[in-house]
């Protein structure tokens, strides 16, 4: 959706699919192969607890080797002590079934350490492929340099092939091969694959990298220190409930770095080796200091000249991830973390906790048709074919499997297998059903093997089959009628000689059966096949059922996390947070708002009551919009709960509740004139953001003092997006069937035409401004009749009675000039026809002039700050652990 403007950059993904967490934690989403250890052996790594298994089940070729004795006890990871070396063949491949098959996202990691295993003292250089596609070159500088290659991708088939290709520059080998199941919803890009460039942990004191069990996905985080920064840390756990889908480990997120000089801002520079390459960058933030109430940490995040996130506030003990929406590249990539404007001492300098950079890899080679591949894999496995059948059967052209002919690939279609010759290859057993899936096959030669059983009917259904040779086997039964028919009409060359028990017709079969007295064997065979088919269907049905369940949980059914979830809380957690709904903060049409505490921070928990007038749709709208928007003058959503009948929204806590209470005199003090001006500007800025910075624009539709919340510093934030709507850019006007909103604040034009646009919010804000100026409600009794505040103010203004307009409780403590100006703006906003009203941006400009006396441009106010540049390319030293 285009609506995900700059704010979609923040991924608050929160798939609380416990299933995945559990799996990742118990390693069932892991495949960990230590290449070269004895066949079928395994061990648990002492440091990580990861169970490594031998590679014998995943590879057909190569030899096991151990690194040289001198390096055996140098403290290297155990999985680096052995390697599988491939002295023969140009391409050698591992073939690994992924933990959950195709369509899921995996991190695939290979590690290499030469360790002089071959005693040649020459570290090799070779190429690495994922299936048919080039992954990267592996170049080892010396015996003990460790090379990691990592790729994140969604495989299109259930198995992945990791291949090493000889470049005549030493023998290819592999030390470790690891596969980790990731959440589909993280590292989302339109690219085929992401290759790790770096993954850094800032602010730590140690020099050890973190991986499993700190990281449930076993990503390896390398410690890094930036120049001229201070280190910050907390001993508390960050994001305990894993609300951020990326789930960087708490040990990584609990340390951060910040510029030493508080007036400096931070720039992270990355210079790609290849300026044509494209990269995705993920910045992970979490506040680790408990900030005093008069302090905030807030900064803009710039990517080169464009604003990535405005006024970003890292949350205390929660991880937020900011990523580049599109791939970046060039000679230099510049991320800048800058405080917004000259804000004095109350705004702390930026921080950064962790960062990841990935390079895009587009898969240009098109693999062989996946149905053909699956069939060949089954055939290879069933008959244990002793040929160098590795990697993709047809692609790249120079590497196609022995005995195979394929159609040529072009840019758009997959190669198909047209000819398969596995004659004289010691095949035993029946003709496998997998042959039926080689639907493009023209020539099939199975002669000279020990195949038994009947010739299956499906061979007669292969549409393009022109040659079939099954001579010299032990096949029985009768030849399928279809094959005979095609043979008779000349469209098929069929050879079936030297199968002693094979018949051309049923009568022959009967005599042969009698002669051999083997009456019984067909029945068990049939029941076996039926049994297998039933088992297959059961597995399939179970899998489907399982998938459905997941989809329901994951993709926004009425229960459970919504697709665009930021932070999902279980109902039991909500009970905990609110201390069993102990303190009521307020009450509305939707239900009650309770006080709550998360990790020591106060929150407001809005619980949707069963008989709520504000239904599920409004709840959805509110969550949808708050997910996307992020602005200091909009309330921010901390999380939500959507479990069975329990629906709750958790917001940041606003100490001073709402503007309406102040205006109605329900609070102990009255707002000063200056405070009123600032609150008006805040509200207008929040709405301007919705109108101008969101694509398509969002119209709030229910702007009123009760929906303008004030924090302890009386900063105003717009709340309650339940009625808000987004409007596509083309059709700026929307016709709505029901009138929604609040009487008194409702655009009169909307009331009659049912057409709504941003100007409707301008009208409502105008009414709010009038209330702020006068302290009177929107509709007040005037003598005997009820009169709208705009009529009243315009009457008095016409008489020049500014004293009569401004809230009497302020006495003389206000500036007449700005009171005039405010009243004029407010009345312009409440013009009955929308065309005569200003836009929200114009309102903001005018209000800024009143508040600051001049128009300021926050973003360009940074001249006095000194740049703190961090060069991400400077080398770091990975430490063995
Ligand atoms: C170990 O496995 C490899 C490859 O599967 C095989 O070539 C080798 O003969 C096996 N060795 C033993 C001792 O079983
Ligand atoms: C991930 O993708 C797979 C395959 O498309 C799908 O079955 C599964 O439900 C997805 N998981 C999530 C959490 O979306
Ligand atoms: C946290 O900071 C303190 C001092 O500020 C330091 O002594 C300690 O080593 C730090 N801990 C970590 C894990 O960096
Ligand atoms: C890493 O830390 C260990 C123990 O704290 C220390 O002995 C070693 O010198 C450090 N290595 C580097 C490169 O700083
Ligand atoms: C911080 O930087 C500013 C601007 O360069 C400089 O005036 C100030 O002295 C610096 N403060 C410290 C403590 O170094
Ligand atoms: C990086 O971007 C910031 C903000 O756009 C700019 O001030 C700074 O000069 C840039 N740094 C470099 C090295 O270009
Ligand atoms: C913040 O408040 C503390 C006391 O609560 C005070 O010592 C400090 O000076 C204040 N800082 C600012 C920037 O106002
Ligand atoms: C593949 O596409 C590219 C451009 O799209 C073209 O230059 C190239 O010739 C095509 N190759 C084949 C084999 O069709
Ligand atoms: C043939 O291919 C289909 C779809 O790819 C698959 O569902 C089926 O199990 C395959 N059949 C055999 C016998 O392998
Ligand atoms: C069979 O051959 C025809 C003609 O060569 C071709 O057009 C068709 O695509 C082939 N069918 C399959 C399933 O490959």
Task: Using alpha carbons, select from 148, 283, 270 the residue that is nearest to residue 219.
Answer: 148
Atom of ligand 7 nearest to the CA of 294: 1
Structure token pair of residue 358: 């990935």
Q: Mean pLDDT across the stretch 502-519?
A: 59
Say whether both 673 and 648 belong to one domain: no
Say whether both 807 and 676 belong to one domain: yes
Structure token pair of residue 716: 């105003």
Q: What pLDDT, in 10s, does the model give residues 599-650?
A: 778 888 888 777 665 567 777 777 777 777 788 899 888 888 888 778 888 8
Q: Mean pLDDT across the stretch 463-469?
A: 94
Indicate whether 149 belongs to any domain.
Answer: yes
Q: How confident is the model at residue 783 (pLDDT cuts 50, 70, 90)?
A: low
Q: Higher confidence at residue 733 or residue 688?
A: 688
Write a three-state SS string for 230-269.
EEEECCCCCCCCCCCCCCCCHHHHCEEEEECCCCCEEEEE
Q: Ligand 8: which of 411, 413, 414 to mutate, judged by most atoms within 8 Å of the beta carbon? A: 411
Atom of ligand 10 nearest to the CA of 464: 1
List the residue whose alpha carbon is closest to atom 12 of ligand 6.
334
Say whether both 264 and 163 belong to one domain: no
Lowest mean pLDDT among 63-67, 377-381, 685-689, 876-880: 876-880
Please give the pLDDT value at position 721. Answer: 75
Task: Using alpha carbons, select from 468, 479, 478, 419 the residue that is nearest to residue 446.
Answer: 468
653, 586 Cβ separation under 8 angstroms: no
266, 350 Cβ separation under 8 angstroms: yes
Atom of ligand 5 nearest to the CA of 261: 1
Can you tell me the distance from the alpha carbon of 604 to that of 578, in angstroms, rounded to the nearest whole number? 9
Say whether both 681 and 608 belong to one domain: no
pLDDT at residue 410 above 80?
no
Ligand 3 centroid from CA 204, angstroms: 8
Instruction: Decide which of 185, 214, 247 is a domain's last residue.
Output: 185
Highest mean pLDDT (candidates 114-118, 364-368, 592-596, 817-821): 114-118
Share of the chain above pLDDT 90, in %: 42
The neighbouring-strand residues paired with 161 are 95
- Domain assignment of residue 594, given as a range: 567-652
Ligand showing the shortest atom-to-Cα distance for residue 156: 2
CATH assignment at residue 709: 1.10.510.10
Write a three-state SS string for 553-587.
HHCCCCCCCCCCCCCECCHHHHHHHCCCCCCEEEE
Can you tell me the distance from the alpha carbon of 116 to that of 171, in angstroms, rounded to the nearest whole number? 11
Say whether both 258 and 157 belong to one domain: no
Say whether both 684 and 700 belong to one domain: yes
Ligand 8 centroid from CA 411, angstroms: 6
Ligand 5 centroid from CA 349, angstroms: 13
Q: What pLDDT, in 10s, does the model give residues 848-863?
A: 888 876 333 333 222 2
Can you tell me the distance from the alpha carbon of 696 to that of 685, in angstroms, rounded to the nearest whole number? 17
Please give the pLDDT value at position 785. Answer: 75
Say whether both 173 and 59 belong to one domain: yes
- Count up the domains in the chain and report the number: 5
Q: Higher confidence at residue 373 or residue 850?
A: 373
pLDDT at residue 551 above 50?
no
755, 765 Cβ separation under 8 angstroms: no
Indicate whether 8 belongs to any domain.
Answer: no
DSSP code for 326: S
Can you tell me the distance from the alpha carbon of 579 to that of 575, in angstroms, rounded to the nearest whole number? 6
Please give the pLDDT value at position 746. Answer: 85
Q: Is the CB of 456 under 6 A from ligand 9?
A: no
804, 725 Cβ separation under 8 angstroms: no
Q: Is the CB of 439 under 6 A from ligand 9?
A: no
pTM of the model: 0.59
Instruction: Decide which of 484, 504, 524 is a domain's last residue.
Output: 504
Please state the φ and ψ torsions of residue 654, each to the nearest 5 degrees. -115, 105
Task: Using alpha carbons, select from 291, 319, 242 the residue that is nearest to residue 600.
Answer: 291
Q: What is the dihedral of CA 443, 448, 454, 458, to 10 degrees?
A: -10
pLDDT at residue 138 above 70?
yes
213 marked ligand binding residue: no
pLDDT at residue 791 above 80?
yes
Indicate whether 514 belongs to any domain.
Answer: no
Q: What pLDDT, in 10s, does the model give residues 180-237?
A: 999 988 999 989 999 999 999 999 888 889 999 899 999 999 999 888 889 999 999 9
List the residue whose alpha carbon is closest to atom 1 of ligand 6.
334
Q: What pLDDT, in 10s, does the model give residues 335-359?
A: 999 887 655 667 889 999 999 999 9
pLDDT at residue 663 above 80?
yes
Atom of ligand 6 nearest to the CA of 862: 7
Q: How confident is the model at residue 32 (pLDDT cuts 50, 70, 90)?
A: very high
Indicate whether 552 belongs to any domain.
Answer: no
Say whether both 700 and 718 belong to one domain: yes
Please give the pLDDT value at position 591. Answer: 75
Please give the pLDDT value at position 18. Answer: 34
Please give the pLDDT value at position 535. Answer: 53
Q: Higher confidence at residue 726 or residue 530?
A: 726
Ligand showing the shortest atom-to-Cα distance for residue 255: 3
pLDDT at residue 38 above 70?
yes
Can you tell me the distance from the alpha carbon of 348 to that of 350, in angstroms, rounded to the nearest whole number? 7
How many helices (H) and strands (E) would you count in the chain? Answer: 17, 51
Q: What pLDDT, in 10s, does the model give residues 277-302?
A: 999 999 999 999 999 888 889 899 99
Say whether both 341 and 397 belong to one domain: no
Ligand 10 centroid from CA 487, angstroms: 19
Please give the pLDDT value at position 244. Answer: 79
Q: How confident is the model at residue 769 (pLDDT cuts 50, 70, 90)?
A: very high
Q: Ligand 5: which of 229, 230, 261 to mutate, judged by most atoms within 8 Å of the beta carbon? A: 261
Q: What pLDDT, in 10s, does the model give residues 16-30?
A: 333 333 334 578 899
Within 49-132, strands assigned E span 51-54, 63-66, 82-85, 91-97, 105-113, 125-130
pLDDT at residue 540 above 70?
no
Please give the pLDDT value at position 621. Answer: 73
Ligand 3 pocket residues where CB is under 6 Å? 204-205, 233, 255
pLDDT at residue 519 above 50?
no
Q: Ligand 1: which of 39, 64, 390 to mutate, judged by most atoms within 8 Å of the beta carbon? A: 39
DSSP code for 500: T
Atom of ligand 3 nearest to the CA of 203: 14
Ligand 4 centroid from CA 66, angstroms: 27
List the residue whose alpha carbon is closest to atom 6 of ligand 7.
294
Indicate whether 529 belongs to any domain.
Answer: no
Please give the pLDDT value at position 548. Answer: 42
Instruction: Work out the mean pLDDT of the chain and round it to a whole number.
Output: 82
Indicate whether 499 belongs to any domain.
Answer: yes
Ligand 5 centroid from CA 806, angstroms: 45
Structure token pair of residue 638: 């901390």
Please give the pLDDT value at position 697. Answer: 82
Say whether both 249 and 156 belong to one domain: no
CATH assignment at residue 626: 3.30.200.20
Please give the pLDDT value at position 788. Answer: 87
List the residue whose alpha carbon is closest to atom 10 of ligand 8.
411
List the residue whose alpha carbon is closest to atom 10 of ligand 5.
261
756, 733 Cβ separation under 8 angstroms: yes
pLDDT at residue 152 above 50?
yes
Q: Is the CB of 168 under 6 A from ligand 7?
A: no
138, 112 Cβ separation under 8 angstroms: yes
Say whether both 831 and 763 belong to one domain: yes
Q: What pLDDT, in 10s, does the model give residues 696-718?
A: 788 888 899 988 998 888 889 99
Q: Ligand 6: which of 859, 867, 869, 871 to mutate, judged by most atoms within 8 Å of the beta carbon? A: 867
Instruction: Decide which of 504, 520, 547 is a domain's last residue.
Output: 504
702, 720 Cβ separation under 8 angstroms: yes
Ligand showing the shortest atom-to-Cα distance for residue 880: 4
Q: What pLDDT, in 10s, does the model give residues 568-578?
A: 788 888 898 99
Q: Which helix (H) or strand (E) segment is 333 a member of?
A: strand 333-338
Can you tell me the distance from the alpha carbon of 249 to that of 425, in angstroms, rounded to the nearest whole number? 52
Q: Is the CB of 811 under 6 A from ligand 7?
A: no
Say whether both 673 and 628 belong to one domain: no
Vertex 769 angle, CA 763 and 770, to 5°: 95
Number of Cβ within 10 Å of residue 875's Cβ equals: 5
Q: Is the CB of 39 under 6 A from ligand 1?
A: yes
Indicate whether 474 belongs to any domain.
Answer: yes
Ligand 4 centroid from CA 207, angstroms: 6
Indicate whether 15 belongs to any domain.
Answer: no
List the residue whose alpha carbon is closest to atom 12 of ligand 5.
261
Ligand showing the shortest atom-to-Cα distance for residue 876: 4
List the residue whose alpha carbon is closest to atom 4 of ligand 2.
103
Ligand showing the shortest atom-to-Cα distance for residue 866: 5
The neighbouring-strand residues paired with 755 are 735
Q: Higher confidence at residue 786 or residue 769?
A: 769
Share of the chain above pLDDT 70, in %: 82
Can you tell me the distance from the alpha carbon of 318 to that of 166, in angstroms, rounded to the nearest whole number? 47
797, 826 Cβ separation under 8 angstroms: no
* CA of residue 340 relative to chain centroid, distance: 28
Can you tell me the distance from the alpha carbon of 618 to that of 740, in angstroms, rounded to the nearest whole number? 11
Ligand 8 centroid from CA 398, angstroms: 18
Q: What is the dihedral of CA 382, 385, 389, 394, to 10 degrees?
A: -70
Q: How confident is the model at residue 125 (pLDDT cuts 50, 70, 90)?
A: very high
pLDDT at residue 582 above 70?
yes
| Residue in the structure block whose two tokens are 């949350």 | 315
Q: Is the CB of 19 under 6 A from ligand 2?
A: no
Ligand 6 centroid from CA 265, angstroms: 10
pLDDT at residue 256 above 90?
yes
* CA of residue 380 relative to chain centroid, distance: 36
Q: Which residues are catalytic?
A: 702
CATH assignment at residue 157: 2.60.120
pLDDT at residue 752 above 80?
no
Can you tell me the distance from the alpha carbon of 207 to that of 227, in angstroms, rounded to the nearest whole number? 16
């Amino acid at each position: 959706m285009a609506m995900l403007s700059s704010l979609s950059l923040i991924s608050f993904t929160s798939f609380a699919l416990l299933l995945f967490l559990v799996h990742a934690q118990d390693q069932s989403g892991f495949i960990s192969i230590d290449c070269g250890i004895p066949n079928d052996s395994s061990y648990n790594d002492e440091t990580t607890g990861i169970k490594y298994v031998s590679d014998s089940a995943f590879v057909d070729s190569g030899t096991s080797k151990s690194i040289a004795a001198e390096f055996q006890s140098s403290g290297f990871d155990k999985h680096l002590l052995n390697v599988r070396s491939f002295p023969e063949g140009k391409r050698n491949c591992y073939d690994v079934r992924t933990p959950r098959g195709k369509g899921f996202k995996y991190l695939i990691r290979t590690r290499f350490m030469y360790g002089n295993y071959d005693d040649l003292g020459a570290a090799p250089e070779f190429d690495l492929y994922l299936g048919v596609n080039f992954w990267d070159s592996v170049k080892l500088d010396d015996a003990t340099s460790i090379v990691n290659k990592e790729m994140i991708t969604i495989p299109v088939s259930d198995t992945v092939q990791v291949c090493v290709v000889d470049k005549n520059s030493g023998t290819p080998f592999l030390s470790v091969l690891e596969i980790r199941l990731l959440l589909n919803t993280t590292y989302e890009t339109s690219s085929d694959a992401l290759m790790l460039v770096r993954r850094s942990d800032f602010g730590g004191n140690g020099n050890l990298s973190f991986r499993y069990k700190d990281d449930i996905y076993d990503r390896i985080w390398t410690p890094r220190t930036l120049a001229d920064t201070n280190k910050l840390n907390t001993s508390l756990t960050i994001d305990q409930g894993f609300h951020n889908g990326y789930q960087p480990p708490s040990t990584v997120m609990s340390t951060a770095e910040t510029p030493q000089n508080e007036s400096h801002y931070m720039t992270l520079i990355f210079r790609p080796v290849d300026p044509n390459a494209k990269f995705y960058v993920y910045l992970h933030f979490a506040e680790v200091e408990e900030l005093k109430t008069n302090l905030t940490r807030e900064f803009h995040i710039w990517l080169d000249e464009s604003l990535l996130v405005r006024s970003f506030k890292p949350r205390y003990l929660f991880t937020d991830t900011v990523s580049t929406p599109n791939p970046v590249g060039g000679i230099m990539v510049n991320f800048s973390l800058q405080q917004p404007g000259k804000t004095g001492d109350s705004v702390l300098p930026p921080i950064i906790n962790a960062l990841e950079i990935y390079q895009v890899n587009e898969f240009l080679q098109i693999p062989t048709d996946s149905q053909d591949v699956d069939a060949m894999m089954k055939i290879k496995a069933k008959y244990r074919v002793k040929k160098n059948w590795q990697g993709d059967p047809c692609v790249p052209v120079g590497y196609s499997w022995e005995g195979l002919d394929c159609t040529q690939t072009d840019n758009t279609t997959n190669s198909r297998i047209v000819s398969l010759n596995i004659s004289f290859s010691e095949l035993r057993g029946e003709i496998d059903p997998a042959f039926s899936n080689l639907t493009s096959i023209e020539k099939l030669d199975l002669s000279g093997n020990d195949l038994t059983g009947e010739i299956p009917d499906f061979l007669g259904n292969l549409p393009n089959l022109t040659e079939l040779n099954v001579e010299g086997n032990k096949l029985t039964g009768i030849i399928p009628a279809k094959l005979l028919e095609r043979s008779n009409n000349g469209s098929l060359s069929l050879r079936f000689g030297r199968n002693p028990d094979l018949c051309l017709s049923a009568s022959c079969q009967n005599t042969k059966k009698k002669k051999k007295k083997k009456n019984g064997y067909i029945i068990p065979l049939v029941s076996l096949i039926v049994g297998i088919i039933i088992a297959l269907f059961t597995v399939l049905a179970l899998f489907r059922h399982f998938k459905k369940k997941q989809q329901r949980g994951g993709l926004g059914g009425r229960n459970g996390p919504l697709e665009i979830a930021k932070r999902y809380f279980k109902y039991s957690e909500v009970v905990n947070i609110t201390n069993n709904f102990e303190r009521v903060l307020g009450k509305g049409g939707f239900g009650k708002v309770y006080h709550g505490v998360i990790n020591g921070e106060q929150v407001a928990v809005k619980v949707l009551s069963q008989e709520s007038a504000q239904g599920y749709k409004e709840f959805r709208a509110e969550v949808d919009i708050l997910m996307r928007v992020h602005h200091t003058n909009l309330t921010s959503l901390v999380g939500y709960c959507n479990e069975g009948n329990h629906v709750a929204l958790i917001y940041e806590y606003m100490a001073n509740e709402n503007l309406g209470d102040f205006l109605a005199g329900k609070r102990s003090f009255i707002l000063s004139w200056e405070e009123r001006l600032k609150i008006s500007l805040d509200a207008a800025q929040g709405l301007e953001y919705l109108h101008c910075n969101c694509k398509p624009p969002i119209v709030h539709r229910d702007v009123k003092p009760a929906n303008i919340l004030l924090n302890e510093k009386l900063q105003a934030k717009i709340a309650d997006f339940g009625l808000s709507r987004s409007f596509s850019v083309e059709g700026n006007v929307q016709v709505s069937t029901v009138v929604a909103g609040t009487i008194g604040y409702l655009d009169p034009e909307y009331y009659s035409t049912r057409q709504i646009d941003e100007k409707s919010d301008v009208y409502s804000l105008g009414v709010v401004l009038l209330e702020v100026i006068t302290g009177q409600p929107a509709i007040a009794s005037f003598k005997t009749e009820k009169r709208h505040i705009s009529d009243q103010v315009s009457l008095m203004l016409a008489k020049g009675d500014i004293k009569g307009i401004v809230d009497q409780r302020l006495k003389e403590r206000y500036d007449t000039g700005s009171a005039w100006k405010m009243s004029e703006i407010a009345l312009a906003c409440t013009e009955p026809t929308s065309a005569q009203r200003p836009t929200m941006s114009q309102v903001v400009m005018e209000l800024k002039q009143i508040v600051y006396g001049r128009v300021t441009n926050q973003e360009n106010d940074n001249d006095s700050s000194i740049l703190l540049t961090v060069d991400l390319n400077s080398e770091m030293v990975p430490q063995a652990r």
